[in-house]
Amino acid sequence: MELNTPIISTEMLTDKELNIYKGLDNRPYGELLARKVTRKLMNNPVKSNGGYYSGNGLHFAHRDYCGIGLYFFEEKFVLGEVNDGMGPYPILVTFDNEAAFVMWLANQSNQSMSLIAGDKYPSSKFNNQTITRLRLEWYIEDHYDAGWNAYCTYVRKREETQTKP
């Protein structure tokens, strides 16, 4: 694993952010989910197209800052920032091999992922459109779409099915 940016320290968080952090799910994502995400990333590699990236990693696609995305790029697994629906740039974390990436992702949680952000303005990016269990589960769906409206629809449908008796 190559970390290209420091992980946000919990000491940098405000009291309000620290309360949010403590309330985030800290259960590891697990190996099964990590392997499914890894397979889909490998089947949808991102390629550079004249300075633009094309492919289908896990990311949000809307205007301005879109958070953190997961990609299989140049035969490596990467986490990178996404802006205006395009990424990974800058690349924040790189894994050279599948086994290391699966093990790392399996041991992450919503809480730990909330601290991965670019170092330009880290406090404004804490828990801002980070990788979550819900996003990972959405990504492995057949109908995954990076558009913000598609994600909102997915979340709404999941909530409706979970609240019905």
Average pLDDT over residues 15-27: 97
Structure-model confidence comparison of residues 70 and 85, the more confident one? 70
Q: Assign residue 114 a region (left: φ > 0; alpha: ψ between -120 and 50; beta: otherwise).
A: alpha
User: pTM for this structure?
Assistant: 0.89
Tens-place pLDDT, residues 92-112: 899 999 999 999 999 999 999
Domain extent for 73: 2-163
pLDDT confidence of 69, banded at 50, 70, 90?
A: very high
Tens-place pLDDT, residues 2-15: 888 878 889 989 99
pLDDT value at residue 123: 47
- Total of domains in the chain: 1
Mean pLDDT of the chain: 88
